[in-house]
Structure 1
Amino acid sequence: MAQEEQSLLSAEIINRGIHPSGPDAGSPTFSVRVQRRLPDFLQSVNLKYVKLGYHYLITHAIYLATIPVLVLVFSAEVGSISKEELWRKIWEDTRYDLVSLLAFFAVLVFTLSVYFMSKPRPIYLIDFACYKPSDDLKVSKEEFIELARKSGKFDEASLDFQGRIVQSSGIGDETYVPKAIMLPENCATMKEGRAEASEVIFGALDELFEKCRIRPKDVGILVVNCSLFNPTPSLSAMIVNHYKMRGNILSFNLGGMGCSAGVIALDLARDMLQANPNNYAVVVSTEMVAFNWYPGRNRSMLIPNCFFRMGCSAVLLSNRRHDFRRAKYRLEHIVRTHKGADDRSFRSVYQEEDEHRHKGLAISRDLLEVGGDALKTNITTLGPIVLPVSEQLLFFSTLVRKQLFGSSKTTKPYIPDYKLAFEHFCVHAASKTVLDEMEKNLELSDKNMEASRMTLHRFGNTSSSCIWYELAYLEAKERVRRGDRVWQLGFGSGFKCNSAVWRALRRVRKPNKNPWLDCIERYPVAM
């Protein structure tokens, strides 16, 4: 990316003040200096998040520690006497004490009942669908700029700026945009927003219901997330109306939660499935491109125009144990990180109006820095939950050493190898710069980042649905085998960074319906 564009994506704060007047009076204002990369994770890791990860592990899996201890104690006791002596001892001690024997079995039954009743229900992913727009909405990078010029909404300086961004963005020549954004009139209307929402959402859901062979009335929980387009009635109500879903459906509509909302929606669906047995949940993740199109000249607001493209995903989850046989994945963990308490993080991606009252999404120069901080927090919390024992020991030794001897400038914290914890990586395809820095700082290989890079190239940044297009890429390549672990990582406004971990229950063959089927043989491509 050219120096001018890069400077818009990363910076370091050096001063803080307060807006004296205007619509932002009383809110913080910042003076920044350019920093053109993510912070190096090796330089500093806040170990309190490591402790948070261990706390999560102990809280959710205490039986993993108690069961081996009980087994060892029982084995040691039994191993010291013969089978005949053991039987004689049990018989002699209990034949005259029926009350004690019944009490023992009552406690055993009670303990097992509490364990199985409190154990979280497994959450299965039956299947998912990613919407693929029609070819008449496909544009190349050159066509994108030419259509922007014909719309008459931008001056030459703005067109030149967007052209440089697009050329260095990592986006290819087959992404999709709504026709409305290139028309001279205003496209950010409720009519255009609803039209685009109907197209992408119903397209994804129609495919999902067909693939899973279920009726819309079978769905008991519906969660929809769309960050910037939130009409009344809601998008979830629009879906219920279109498919004539049942009247007691539990529906939720998440708005304003950015590109990481796909994992947040999964978390909500998981909680609802835990509370409502024998149910199906559908999670829809999307964003409306036309409604959020910025026609002004503010360069920080022009950046989203260059990256965001049409897309939508629909996922079917189940807590029915008999769905284990047909499910593709089981949900293992969700770890969420929210940095909204920090002012820079809060304003790093901010919807506002420019001096000409044009609404747009402003990208702060602090974005890469605050994003790196949120990512660092998230992965250090996730580490103790997913890493193998060898990495756990090295990770834990760093924590102990710092607690006993304090921090040292010459001793760098140990950054674990996450390639040992996951076979597949689905990192939110925000931009080429972000993916490059992710690969460098987490020491991932080109193969690990392939799904993210190719999704950015083929479909652009589709916001919260990106991670599902990436998983669809892995399935189209037939790389997912039984037992494989998949890490979906999303980040977005707030600032939030969220992780979802899945385990494949079977080998996933190339599906009959997949957005990559017509082009998968051409990928990967050089970027």
Structure 2
Amino acid sequence: MALLVDFTVFNPDAGLRVDWEWHRQHSMTTWEKHGASKERIEFCDRILRSSGIADNSAALPEWLQPDKSAEPKTDSVHSGREARMVQGQCIAELLFKTGIEPEQVDILVTNCSIYCPVPSMASMLVNMFGLREDVEAYHLGGMGCSMGVVGLNLVRDLLAARPNSIALFVTNEVVTAGFYLGDRKEALVTNALFRMGGAAAILTNRPSWRLRAKYALAHVNRVHTGRFPRAYSCLNLEPDEEGHNGIVLTKDLPSEAALCLNKAIARAAPRVMTWRQYGEAAAHFARDFAAKASRRERPPAYQPDFTQCADHFLIHAGGYAILQAIKKGLRLPAEKMMPAFVTLRDYGNTSSSSTWYTLAYIESCEGVRANQKIMQIGVGGGMKAGVAIWRALRGFTDAHPAWAHLGGRRQVEAQLPRPITVDYESRYDARAAVEAQEKLRAAPRRPEAERISFEPAKEPRRLNVRSWRDVSRTDAGDWWRRPPGQPLAEGEGEGEGEGERGAAAQAAAGVQRGAEARPAPEAAGAEAEEPAAAAAAEAPLAAAEAGAFAALEEASPAAKPSAARSVQVLAVAADDM
């Protein structure tokens, strides 16, 4: 059985957020000078306004934003920068969060549809994080938006072939490589919908890790309808008349995606149906057989109530129309669709990682109870569709940094750019949102035994030093920009793996370097100010040193290497003070 230990999603910095309204008023003339026609900009604007994406939330690289780049850059160099930024942050945060060392990873599976460099993206991550020489590394390209779910099938099979192993699953899409520079409307839709995003997950089949894992993979299946010409050609990467490559979406895409997804869900439904639904299905089969034998009109196909089959639904946030079609096909209420619509609002279409953003929202704002079933649904070009069924092993809430801006508050329909079922007076009806929030607070509370705790999980972890936002982000802006293969600086990485003594020596050396590198107070001025200035300068260094050694003492023996790395980060932060 495959266990999901933990996962992380990419949390873009504020500088990567796109304020489309500001761009519309100030920056579009910049791109018009470089060949972007006014019709192209207006078409993308119409698509964006009807897409369900907020004007100032989703992220794009700086070299694709009009106010930060004179012209869009889509070359392989900038594509590689985006890949290292997204995947590097996700994996670094995940390893820090779980306390797993890169040398412990046995299987690596990466996915990116459009950007397929040489060496592969899997090799890039092996180089960045120093994975073992015998690691099984695979990179999958051209798999589309379904890979975030379909890839779990491959990971499960690889774990079944290697008992007692740890697998690292990384999925994202590089929007730089897929940004379209032409005027073909079928390809311009992706410019308005796709945004930066990525996810990384640790899966294992070690029985001893069951107590620390979040979910167990109960079932996963996939369907591929590529043998039909319409399904195969409804989504393509092809050049236009001027030679600009772009992802072309045809009019057959919604119908083919619905057909493929229907087949995948039909295969997964018997795995999650209740006993009562089994009885209803048997009675329906008997009525259908009798109608067929008597040549009467046959009843419509039986479809179970999926709200009785699963507690949460992770649906690919491909766009407003796609989510509405899935909602109608599965007959889901608005509250079950809310996580997917919130993901679309705040992060746009992040391709294969969108379902993981939805799961992060559920963990952060709604909470998960033990034994709840989670249905993860993905669909992408080819056509391919996948359905994964997860079972929660314990009840918890996990505050993901990507959803920290919500403060753990559940969202309501009035806070969406486009409503799910109700037409509000404006795109953001503040009054309706306040009324809905008050109604939610006034709802009868569950008994104390069933109430979800919004405190962090109390289960022991191998490493619990500080949060990623407090520690790991301090050097994330530098290390992922380092070119692949560049050697470490002198003294960097010394003492790693030597236990507590090596980590303490690193921390002491880092703090000492910070003290030596700190400039002396200026001689000019009153001499009485020098002791106060020196004391003020020593305070943050002393605090960093004390926090580093306290964290090292609290770490378990198995987590000493990870604690040593955390102390290195604190030492670097002290140097920068």
Q: How does 1:80-95 map to 2 (within 5 A)?
A: none
* Native 8 Å contact 1:282 1:317 kept in 2: yes
Aligned mates of 1:263, 1:385 — CA distance in 2: 17
Aligned mates of 1:466, 1:251 — CA distance in 2: 23
Q: In the alignment, what sits opposite 2:457?
A: none
Q: In the alignment, what sits opposite 1:391?
A: 277
What CA deviation, in whole Å up to 9, does each residue of 1:239-263 have, x standing for no partner? 0000111000000000001000111
* Native 8 Å contact 2:291 2:297 kept in 1: no
Q: How does 1:59-70 map to 2 (within 5 A)?
A: none
Q: In the alignment, what sits opposite 2:86?
A: 200
What CA deviation, in whole Å up to 9, does each residue of 1:61-119 have, x standing for no partner? xxxxxxxxxxxxxxxxxxxxxxxxxxxxxxxxxxxxxxxxxxxxxxxxxxxxxxxxxxx
Q: Displacement, 1:409?
A: 4.4
CA 1:297 to 1:318, structure 2 compared with 1: closer, same or farther past 3 Å?
same
Q: In the alignment, what sits opposite 2:406?
A: 519
Aligned mates of 1:510, 1:159 — CA distance in 2: 40
Q: Displacement, 1:156?
A: 1.1
Q: Displacement, 1:330?
A: 0.4
SS of the equivalent of 2:360 reads: helix
Does 2:349 correspond to 1:467? Answer: no
Aligned mates of 2:15, 2:296 — CA distance in 1: 59
TM-score by length of 2: 0.68
Does 2:60 correspond to 1:177? Answer: yes
Q: In the alignment, what sits opposite 1:166?
A: 48
- 1:303 aligned to 189, 195, 201, which one? 189
CA 1:144 to 1:454, structure 2 compared with 1: closer, same or farther past 3 Å?
farther
Does 2:235 correspond to 1:349? Answer: yes
- 1:279 aligned to 157, 165, 169, which one? 165
SS of the equivalent of 1:281 reads: strand
SS of the equivalent of 1:461 reads: coil
Q: Displacement, 1:405?
A: 3.9
Does 2:393 correspond to 1:505? Answer: yes
SS of the equivalent of 2:401 reads: coil
Does 2:359 correspond to 1:476? Answer: no
* Native 8 Å contact 1:127 1:208 kept in 2: yes
* Native 8 Å contact 1:478 1:508 kept in 2: no
Task: Structure 2: state its 5+ residue gaps.
Answer: 419-577
Q: In the alignment, what sits opposite 1:323?
A: 209
Aligned mates of 2:367, 2:184 — CA distance in 1: 43
Q: What residue identity is the alignment partner of 1:514?
A: P
Q: In the alignment, what sits opposite 1:157?
A: 39
* Native 8 Å contact 1:346 1:495 kept in 2: yes
What CA deviation, in whole Å up to 9, does each residue of 1:105-164 have, x standing for no partner? xxxxxxxxxxxxxxxxx2111100001111011013324545455223421111111111
Q: Displacement, 1:508?
A: 1.7
What CA deviation, in whole Å up to 9, does each residue of 1:358-408 have, x standing for no partner? 000000101111111111111111111211111122223434544554386
Q: In the alignment, what sits opposite 1:267?
A: 153
Q: Percent identity over the alignment?
A: 33
Q: Displacement, 1:186?
A: 5.3
* Native 8 Å contact 2:150 2:221 kept in 1: no
CA 1:360 to 1:408, structure 2 compared with 1: closer, same or farther past 3 Å?
farther
Q: What residue identity is the alignment partner of 1:517?
A: A
Q: How does 1:344-423 map to 2 (within 5 A)?
A: 344-403=230-289, 405-406=291-292, 409=297, 411-423=299-311
CA 1:145 to 1:336, structure 2 compared with 1: closer, same or farther past 3 Å?
farther
Aligned mates of 1:263, 1:488 — CA distance in 2: 7
Does 2:111 correspond to 1:225? Answer: yes
Q: In the alignment, what sits opposite 2:19?
A: 140
The structure richer in strand per residue is 1
What CA deviation, in whole Å up to 9, does each residue of 1:302-342 have, x standing for no partner? 00001100011000001100101110000010011111011
CA RMSD of aligned residues (A): 1.6
Q: Which one is further off, 445-454 or 135-144?
A: 135-144
Aligned mates of 1:449, 1:374 — CA distance in 2: 20
Aligned mates of 2:374, 2:231 — CA distance in 1: 27
Q: What residue identity is the alignment partner of 1:154?
A: A
Aligned mates of 1:391, 1:149 — CA distance in 2: 59
* Native 8 Å contact 1:145 1:162 kept in 2: no
SS of the equivalent of 1:284 reads: strand
SS of the equivalent of 2:396 reads: coil
Does 2:376 correspond to 1:493? Answer: no
Task: Structure 1: state its 5+ residue gaps.
Answer: 1-121
- 1:448 aligned to 329, 336, 346, which one? 336
SS of the equivalent of 1:175 reads: coil
Aligned mates of 1:144, 1:480 — CA distance in 2: 39
Q: What residue identity is the alignment partner of 1:150?
A: T
CA 1:302 to 1:149, structure 2 compared with 1: closer, same or farther past 3 Å?
farther
* Native 8 Å contact 1:209 1:215 kept in 2: yes
Aligned mates of 1:503, 1:386 — CA distance in 2: 11
**Count of residues in correspondence between the two structures:** 405
Aligned mates of 1:144, 1:444 — CA distance in 2: 36
Q: In the alignment, what sits opposite 2:505?
A: none
Aligned mates of 1:238, 1:491 — CA distance in 2: 27
Q: What residue identity is the alignment partner of 1:178?
A: P
